[in-house]
Structure formats: C-alpha cells, structure tokens
Amino acid sequence: MRLPSFLRTFYAFSNTTFHRAPTPFANATSLRPGTALRSISLPSIPFVGALFHTAETRKMSHPVQKSEQEWQAQLSPDQFRILREKGTEPPFSGDYDKHYPSSGTYACAGCSAPLYTADQKFKSGCGWPAFFDTVPGAVTRHVDRTFGMERIEIVCTNCGGHLGHVFKGEGYPTPTDERHCVNSVSLKFSNQDPVKEQSKA
C-alpha cells in the first residue's frame, strides 16, 4: 500500500497521531495495527533535513560534532534519516514500542549517551516508545515551528540527534504528566544502568 505523495510527506513530518491517552487507540495494540503500517513505504526525502532545521536548531552546539559525511558513515540509513534529518518511523513499527524491561538504559543510537532509564518508560498506546522523564540533562528541548505547527522537539544534548517530541498535559497517570514520544531508531538499549551505577560510586 502506498499513500499519495502529499500524505506520505505529511506523515513523515508529524508524530502527533494517537497522542491522547483516553482514546480508542489506547487499546489499539489488540487490533494488531502494526501489521498494516509496516507495509507503508516512506522514502527519505533529500530536503527534509533543511525543512526541519529551525533557527533554534542551527544555534545549538553539542559536545559531539561530526560532519554529515561522518554521520552517514557511522549510522544506518534509517538512523541517519531520523537522527540527523529529523525523520519519523512509522507508528507501532519500532523495536522498543512494546519493550518493557525491569531495568536498563536507553542510550542515543548516535553517540551512546544515556537518555532514559527503563523505569521512566510507560505504556501510552501511541505507537512509539514513551517516557515520562529523562536522565538529568541528557535531553534538550526547543520549539519546533515547522509546517505551521508548534511542537516541542527533543534532541540528544550530547550530539544533537533528533529523538522525537514531548507532549504535556495529556492525562497519563505518570509523575510528570509528560510523554516523550521517541523514535526507536534513535535509541539503543542496554541491560546495564550506568546512571544508577554512577550514583552508587
């Protein structure tokens, strides 16, 4: 199944779909929506990165600085499209959407900086990994005003890799009432928890 060009483009730019907690989508996993959605082809569009690089993004400086060529050599095509060009993976398709370990850390797939711990992850039913909080200082927020929408983009503080967006006040029963909607491709999971281990030292 292929969507019309306009719809493919719009879909690639927005991951706000299904973000309200008290909706029928909360139980959508029982309908196995991922089966159909995985078949959708969303090709990388060369100018996407330029469209998403707002003025605030360009002003950011991060400890890890690499050229576009260096990132392309290091990352897979999907990782590069999402982390460096600010793409979005299809909902319910990511490795970590239904991943709920009892312990461990989700790190940046680009630079390995710890971003989220397993106990900060929660079931939102939105189709992407959801976290209610971060490792302190690991994630940077800024206003994303592209395409006439105002959202809060979240990036890795260490390398500037695009993670997703954060939404507030949706009514989830979490300590922060926030949902960090993160692309699985932007993450890599480890059973180790360097954050807790460092605090014990």
Between CA 100 and CA 105 the distance in angstroms is 11
Active site residues: 181
The pLDDT score that the predictor gives to residue 60 is 61
Each residue's pLDDT tens digit, 160-177: 999 999 999 999 999 999
Which of 79, 98, 96, 97 is closest to 88 using CA atoms? 79
> What phi, psi does 115 have (nearest 5°)?
-115, -45
- The sheet carrying 114-117 orders its strands as 114-117, 105-108, 187-190
Q: How far is CA 197 from CA 50, 99, 105, 117, 193, in A?
A: 39, 22, 11, 12, 6
Each residue's pLDDT tens digit, 90-114: 999 999 999 999 999 999 999 999 9
In the three-class reduction of DSSP (H, G, I as helix; E, B as strand; rest coil), residue 107 is classed as: strand
For 141, the token pair is 């927020």
Task: Indicate the pLDDT class of residue 197, thresholds 50, 70 and 90.
Answer: low
For 29, the token pair is 């996993």
Specify whether the CB–CB gap between 134 and 180 falls below 8 A: yes
Each residue's pLDDT tens digit, 128-162: 999 999 999 999 999 988 778 889 999 999 999 99
Q: For residue 43, is pLDDT > 70?
A: no
The pLDDT score that the predictor gives to residue 199 is 56
What's the pTM value of the predicted model, to 2 decimals?
A: 0.70
State the average pLDDT over residues 20-36.
39
Q: For residue 201, is pLDDT > 80?
A: no
- What domains are there in the chain, each with its CATH number? 90-193 (2.170.150.20)
The pLDDT score that the predictor gives to residue 38 is 34
Looking at 24-165, list the stretches that DSSP marks H as alpha helix, in order from N- to C-terminal side.
Answer: 33-37, 48-52, 55-59, 68-74, 77-79
Query: H helices then E strands: how many in the chain?
Result: 7, 9
